[in-house]
Structure 1
Amino acid sequence: MSHTFHIPVLGLGYSIDTPLKVSRYGISSVLSIVDDELIERMREYHSENSNEAYTAIAKSEPDSRAKRITAYLNLLAGTINQQFEQLKGQLFEAGTDLCRYFELLPEKALLRQGYDLMMEYPDNERKTIFQNILRQRMTKGSIDVNIMSKVDKMNFTAEGEYTGSENTDALAALRGFAESDLESAVILSAGMSPRLYSYLETFNDFFPDETGKLRKRIILKVSDFRSALIQAKFLAKKGLWISEFRVESGLNCGGHAFATDGFLLGPILEEFKEKRQEMADELYPLYLGALINKNISCDQMPEQRLSVQGGIGTAVENDFLMEYYHLDATGWGSPFLLVPEVTNVDEETLMQLAGANEDDFYLSGASPLGILFNNFKLASMEKQRVERIESGRPGSPCTKKYLCTNTEFTEKPICTSSREYQNFKIKQLQALSLPEVEYQEQFDTITEKICLCEGLCSAAYLKYKISKPKENTAVSICPGPNMAYFSRIYSLEEMVNHIYGRLDLLENIKRPHVFIKELNLYIDYLQADLEKHAKNLNDKKKKHLDKFKAQLQDGIAYYKQLFKEWPEGCARELGISERKLNCISI
């Protein structure tokens, strides 16, 4: 690939059509395929916007979820192919998209070097030949999709009959991708799902063709080496190859945060660096054996890439991670929320993000999934949540039902952010006659949940002016903590130039190094967890917290060695963090 960064998935609506905006420039990006209602409305909007025929796929149609996803992905593939061919047909003249393609590339890219050399040529036949060679070697950015394995609701007919395991939300989404025209990757996140992983085996595109090519690739988003190996072995035994391990910081990321047991990003990447080839050598015989059993030939080990994402903020950090840990790419997500030509953020939220500070971004219990969630205090969804509590009607109407997982009060699962669930739970709480302080703590925990199904889509509807009458337009957004240091609206050129070190958007901004920031987030997390269990700290929990602290201390020891040759500021910040950790008594 020409570029050395990708744009990860950003909520539901924020990157739902990002490939339409960046793929023609060779930049890969990821969209979520959780919400088929959002996807259908985006297909309608973009079809009409480009004068393409649009035929609605009704929710009541058989297999409508998968069909909607397939239809939208096919629209993206076709439209982007047209964009790319039109771009390649342009002249090499200043201001054209063709020149923009090459000028966005990093200086180290051979295509960029060839372009710079070609532009110095006099206008003659040789220059024309050179230009045609450059056109032939251009590549589109990959149109990748994300499936969060935990978002896998069972579905029922109007009569209440279970529609079967192949029609759960995650499996139907995978089918929608697998049956599309895309030649790209599915990013599997949120942990291992044997049912979902086994379903991959039913689609030919995930296996090599007669030339050894994988039409559809599998990328695992992981938080540590051990889980990566376990998941990869499970898939290799089925003849399924992991084309990329995408390591994400447990806490210094956007969206849902999957905290490790104190394992820090630096030591995690070090283990991948040391064992990467060893893992590939272990996986390949399993993979090859499974292919032989399926009568599929494979002449050589497929490529297996390694990338990292979460909290990277400067070109210096980016280059160090790439070079020291031998990475193939990095992921830059949250900062692109401030690039309107790339992502879908409504005007009000955009202005709030641009003016926000560190305290406006926080780790919350707002997700109905019961997973920590990076939240934004100024979002209109937060304001609406508080207003509903004050009016005596906490919770949200549950219209989409993607996150219905709780059966505490009902036979059929409901969502913990729903008005129905919160009413049940508050009545149960009131019956306990708890002391006021304890009651308020539990009440706040119950009512902290927000509707992500609507909130993470609203900004896209507002931006494109396609909100329906009486539709909730409150916005939820989930940037990572790194967002606090980016303080205005940027162009695509500015952000890409920042990533590659041609421009410094954070000049004179006081900001901790990516490793230090994550360490401090983990120390705060440990402190909060200790305070939460202080009254009832049993031996099991104490042992867990002791281990967590010890892992952080090991991480600090690793960073001390790493920072020996680093600027004095990093070593000083590390010392402050170490003293803070040592002050935590378990």
Structure 2
Amino acid sequence: MKNSLHTFSIPVMGTGHSIDSPIRVAPYGINSVISIVDDLLVERIRKYYSNLFEFPYKNISRKAVDGRAKRITAYLNMVQDIVQQKFEELKSQSFFEQNEKTKYFEMLPDSSELKKLYQRMIKISGKEEQQILAAVLTARMKPGSIDVNIMAKVDGFSYTNNGQPMTSEFSDGSAALRGYANSKLSSSLILSAGFNPRLYNYLSEFEDFYRDVKGEIKKKIILKVSDFRSALIQGKYLAKKGLEVFEYRIESGLNCGGHAFASDGYLLPSLLKEFKEKREMLSSAIQPLIEGFYEENREGGFKSKWILNEPRLTVQGGIGTSGEARRLLEDFEMDATGWGSPFLMVPEATTVDEATMKLLQDAKEEDLYLSGVSPLGVPFNNVRNTGSEKWHKERIEKGKPGSPCPKGFLESNTEFTESPICTASSQYQLLKISQINESELPDEKKEEQRGKVLEKACLCDHLGNGALISLGILKEHRAPQAICPGPNIAWFDRQYSLREMIDHIYGRSEALVPADRPHMFAKELVMYVDYFKELINQCEDPESEFKKLTRFKNNLEDGMNYCLEIAEKTAYPNENLNSIKEAVELQKTRLATFFEDLEHKLMVVG
């Protein structure tokens, strides 16, 4: 797993759109990530694929003891079986034919030693040597990793049938972790959306996250992080328990799909620069803790023949051209990149229903926006006019706002109830709107607050519906679809084959996006200035927020200055560096104007 065949992977996309991506792409050696938040969706997909591949299937009911963990384990084991079956079929095919095996090798990056050996084999005229190389190549083939994602902060407590809270090991996060840990997968667990000590502690109860007698780790840990300090703190925390971080996955705070965890004004280039400069610390500060744990807690301690590898560094969020990917891999020395949203347009890789696919194909930059639809209260990248949005509007018009909350994974609000409920639920929204209506707030403020309440959407259910429709499990009229692309999707306007997209990533074909598409760094800084404007608009106490907003502004300015340094470098093919300079000049002016508005607010209050 350290030596991935490709220099990119397909990250998690919602609960449903990458739910079966490993089945689709792992046989070709491509790593991808499944969300295991929604175990009820997982069960429906397991039933579908069990029937398709004629595997035995027995339903694990919603009321089954430890059902959440069991459903996840059963699904992941099935995915492993399907991937292995498809991979062995592919592996058994002959060379020198236009088949899936040829596709496997031709899609590899040109820098790959395996690709070079393949190209050498097809040029050799000697039959005997050719057969020897063919056997070597076949033996060195391997499938992509079947990785899983858990949002660490989505960790609500479960309740018994009589309404009593269950113990912590049955929390949503812990049960999902147990489901993965009990599976037969040898892959990686990606922990995202923040630091959850209880969940991190629970990792230590499963031997698959530790080294075996050979020094191998069956299940590796990947942390999705937003800055170096957080990475180091979390890495040390886990290391004290003997748990090693295999990879730190750095993501743009805003220029991404799904939930957007904005940094304190730190732009991605500045973050990557710090990771590059301090990379060695992620090993030197960790190694003594790991070795100390094994000395104290494992017979024989940390064996001298074991290698403590430097953790991989990867990056994702808004990458759209081969030139941008090369900038990240070569200048910032990242080990790999993550390409999410573009793969929503690749049916060979993801499950997107026809109506939503058409919506994405037609989406312009103005249709993609940072929304408040998530019940988590975190900004959420969204596209206008989804089936989910239309469904919610119809319910509002009928006087029945919100969702019946069929799954309850995002229940966290106790403002009106003793047990947590979801802010996208009908129960919460009716109670909250009644409270707003009875308040003494000005009518304009009431309308604003009602809008924020009604904006919340049923992501638990709706993010998985596209997959169910795409696979023919549900009809479109019965399944409102939500999707969470990053703004990068605006530049991809049709369906693509898997090979087309991979050739685009590696710069082996004409770019799939126009040359004037703004650089990912330019797009991100525009989004951060927009976000800064919104922070000021929402600021009700300028005096208490002034220091924080000033720090945000200063960090942004430092990041823009560094972006200008990058803009002066030689562009890689398919890299629009000119757009960075143009964006910095315009956004510095906007930033200064917005900060003046903040200072004016402060003077008025004073």
Corresponding letter in the other structure for 1:405: S
Corresponding letter in the other structure for 1:97: E
Corresponding letter in the other structure for 2:185: L
What residue is the counterpart of 1:60 in the other structure?
A: 63
Q: Select which of 302, 306, 315 maps to 1:297.
A: 302
The answer as to 2:272 corresponding to 1:265 is no
Per the TM alignment, residue 216 of structure 1 is displaced from its structure 2 partner at its CA by 0.3
Per the TM alignment, residue 507 of structure 1 is displaced from its structure 2 partner at its CA by 4.5
Deviation per residue, 1:415-474 (Å, 9 max, x gap): 000000000000000011432221111010000000001110111111111128x98411
Q: 1:49 to 1:568 in 2, by over 3 A?
A: closer
Aligned pair count?
583
Structure 1, 53-62 or 424-433: larger mean CA deviation: 53-62
Per the TM alignment, residue 47 of structure 1 is displaced from its structure 2 partner at its CA by 0.5
For the Cα contact (< 8 Å) 2:282–2:311, is it kept in 1? no
Secondary structure, in 3 states, of the residue corresponding to 1:220? strand
Separation of aligned partners in 1, 2:514 and 2:42: 41
Structure 1, 294-303 or 419-428: larger mean CA deviation: 294-303
Corresponding letter in the other structure for 1:217: K
What residue is the counterpart of 2:530 in the other structure?
A: 524
The answer as to 2:178 corresponding to 1:172 is no
Per the TM alignment, residue 568 of structure 1 is displaced from its structure 2 partner at its CA by 4.1
What residue is the counterpart of 1:574 in the other structure?
A: 584
What residue is the counterpart of 2:506 in the other structure?
A: 500
Secondary structure, in 3 states, of the residue corresponding to 1:565? coil
What residue is the counterpart of 1:8 in the other structure?
A: 11
Corresponding letter in the other structure for 1:238: K
What residue is the counterpart of 1:306 in the other structure?
A: 313
Secondary structure, in 3 states, of the residue corresponding to 1:583? helix
The answer as to 2:142 corresponding to 1:135 is no
What residue is the counterpart of 1:551 in the other structure?
A: 555
Per the TM alignment, residue 392 of structure 1 is displaced from its structure 2 partner at its CA by 1.6
Separation of aligned partners in 2, 1:537 and 1:163: 40
Separation of aligned partners in 2, 1:507 and 1:289: 51
What residue is the counterpart of 1:245 in the other structure?
A: 248
Q: Select which of 481, 486, 495 maps to 1:489.
A: 495
What residue is the counterpart of 1:19 in the other structure?
A: 22
Q: Select which of 467, 471, 482 maps to 1:476.
A: 482
What residue is the counterpart of 2:574 in the other structure?
A: none
Separation of aligned partners in 2, 1:570 and 1:517: 8
Deviation per residue, 1:351-386 (Å, 9 max, x gap): 110111001110011001111101111211111112
What residue is the counterpart of 2:474 in the other structure?
A: 467
For the Cα contact (< 8 Å) 1:210–1:297, is it kept in 2? no
Separation of aligned partners in 2, 1:572 and 1:538: 31
Deviation per residue, 1:109-165 (Å, 9 max, x gap): 111111111111125111011001011111211100000011111011111222210
What residue is the counterpart of 2:36 in the other structure?
A: 33
Separation of aligned partners in 2, 1:565 and 1:325: 13
The answer as to 2:465 corresponding to 1:458 is yes
Separation of aligned partners in 2, 1:243 and 1:435: 53
Deviation per residue, 1:162-196 (Å, 9 max, x gap): 22100001000000100100000000001100000
What residue is the counterpart of 2:73 in the other structure?
A: 70
Please list, as runs of the form range in 1=range in 2, the aligned pairs for 1:286-435 lying within 5 A after superposition.
286-295=289-298, 296-298=301-303, 299-435=306-442
For the Cα contact (< 8 Å) 2:204–2:241, is it kept in 1? yes
Per the TM alignment, residue 303 of structure 1 is displaced from its structure 2 partner at its CA by 4.1
For the Cα contact (< 8 Å) 1:485–1:509, is it kept in 2? no
Percentage of identical aligned residues: 48
Per the TM alignment, residue 293 of structure 1 is displaced from its structure 2 partner at its CA by 1.4
Query: What TM-score comes out, normalization by structure 1 length?
Result: 0.98
The answer as to 2:108 corresponding to 1:105 is yes
Separation of aligned partners in 1, 2:352 and 2:579: 35
Separation of aligned partners in 2, 1:432 and 1:163: 37
Separation of aligned partners in 2, 1:323 and 1:486: 25
Q: 1:101 to 1:516 in 2, by over 3 A?
A: same
Corresponding letter in the other structure for 2:210: F
Per the TM alignment, residue 583 of structure 1 is displaced from its structure 2 partner at its CA by 2.1
Structure 1, 15-24 or 50-59: larger mean CA deviation: 50-59
Unpaired runs of 5+ residues, structure 1, are: none
For the Cα contact (< 8 Å) 2:403–2:457, is it kept in 1? yes
Q: 1:348 to 1:50 in 2, by over 3 A?
A: same
Separation of aligned partners in 1, 2:501 and 2:345: 9
For the Cα contact (< 8 Å) 1:314–1:504, is it kept in 2? no
For the Cα contact (< 8 Å) 2:491–2:514, is it kept in 1? no
Secondary structure, in 3 states, of the residue corresponding to 2:280? helix
Q: 1:537 to 1:237 in 2, by over 3 A?
A: same
Separation of aligned partners in 1, 2:277 and 2:84: 39
Corresponding letter in the other structure for 1:322: L
Per the TM alignment, residue 13 of structure 1 is displaced from its structure 2 partner at its CA by 0.7
Corresponding letter in the other structure for 2:517: R
Per the TM alignment, residue 573 of structure 1 is displaced from its structure 2 partner at its CA by 2.8
For the Cα contact (< 8 Å) 2:25–2:144, is it kept in 1? yes
Corresponding letter in the other structure for 1:136: A
Q: 1:152 to 1:569 in 2, by over 3 A?
A: closer
For the Cα contact (< 8 Å) 2:492–2:513, is it kept in 1? no
What residue is the counterpart of 2:573 in the other structure?
A: none
Corresponding letter in the other structure for 1:557: N
For the Cα contact (< 8 Å) 2:152–2:193, is it kept in 1? yes
Q: 1:282 to 1:56 in 2, by over 3 A?
A: same
Per the TM alignment, residue 510 of structure 1 is displaced from its structure 2 partner at its CA by 2.9
Corresponding letter in the other structure for 1:540: S
Separation of aligned partners in 2, 1:161 and 1:367: 27
Separation of aligned partners in 1, 2:282 and 2:40: 40
Per the TM alignment, residue 532 of structure 1 is displaced from its structure 2 partner at its CA by 1.6
Query: What TM-score comes out, normalization by structure 2 length?
Result: 0.94
Separation of aligned partners in 2, 1:507 and 1:467: 33
Q: Select which of 192, 209, 216 maps to 1:206.
A: 209
Separation of aligned partners in 1, 2:477 and 2:417: 26
For the Cα contact (< 8 Å) 2:235–2:282, is it kept in 1? no
Q: Select which of 63, 69, 92 maps to 2:95.
A: 92
Separation of aligned partners in 1, 2:251 and 2:478: 32
What residue is the counterpart of 2:602 in the other structure?
A: none
Separation of aligned partners in 1, 2:85 and 2:180: 20
Structure 1, 339-348 or 509-518: larger mean CA deviation: 509-518
Corresponding letter in the other structure for 1:188: L
What residue is the counterpart of 2:165 in the other structure?
A: 162
Separation of aligned partners in 2, 1:517 and 1:170: 33
Secondary structure, in 3 states, of the residue corresponding to 1:202? coil
Separation of aligned partners in 1, 2:76 and 2:129: 40
Separation of aligned partners in 1, 2:563 and 2:424: 40
For the Cα contact (< 8 Å) 1:454–1:472, is it kept in 2? no
Separation of aligned partners in 2, 1:570 and 1:396: 42
For the Cα contact (< 8 Å) 2:18–2:34, is it kept in 1? yes
